[in-house]
Amino acid sequence: MRLLQSLALACVAPVLGAGSEPMPRITTDSREYCIELAERLAKMPGPREEAVTRLVEDGVRLCDSGHPRLGVARLRRAMRAMLAGH
């Protein structure tokens, strides 16, 4: 039990600021972040390979169906593929 408490404290300690107030944690596995990534991808210039288009479509579909973590992963892969093409 003592080991579990020590591990929990070690995980929480970096989140605490100088005033011992919890610092906000930024998470990117949300539907809002999916939308943001999809919008950024839509604004990127240049031709799109079919694989990139499929990744974007899959990512948006996954986000819309309640799987934001998987959707964000697909959208990030699409972003990397688009950036690698430039």
> What 3 state SS string does 34-76 have?
HHHHHHHHHHCCCCCCHHHHHHHHHHHHHHHCCCHHHHHHHHH
Output the pLDDT for position 76: 93
Residue 21 phi, psi dihedral angles, 5° rounding: -95, 140
The fraction of the chain above a pLDDT of 70, given in percent, is: 66
pLDDT-derived band at 16 (thresholds 50, 70, 90) equals very low
The total domain count for the chain is 1
Residue 13 resides in a domain: no
Residue 49 resides in a domain: yes
Q: What angle do CA 38, 69, 36 make, to 5 degrees?
A: 25
- Tokens representing 44 are 């990127």
Residue 62 resides in a domain: yes
Residue 21 resides in a domain: no
pLDDT-derived band at 29 (thresholds 50, 70, 90) equals confident
The mean pLDDT value for 5-33 works out to 56
Output the pLDDT for position 18: 52
Rounded-to-integer distance, Cα 13 and Cα 8, Å: 9
The pTM score is: 0.66
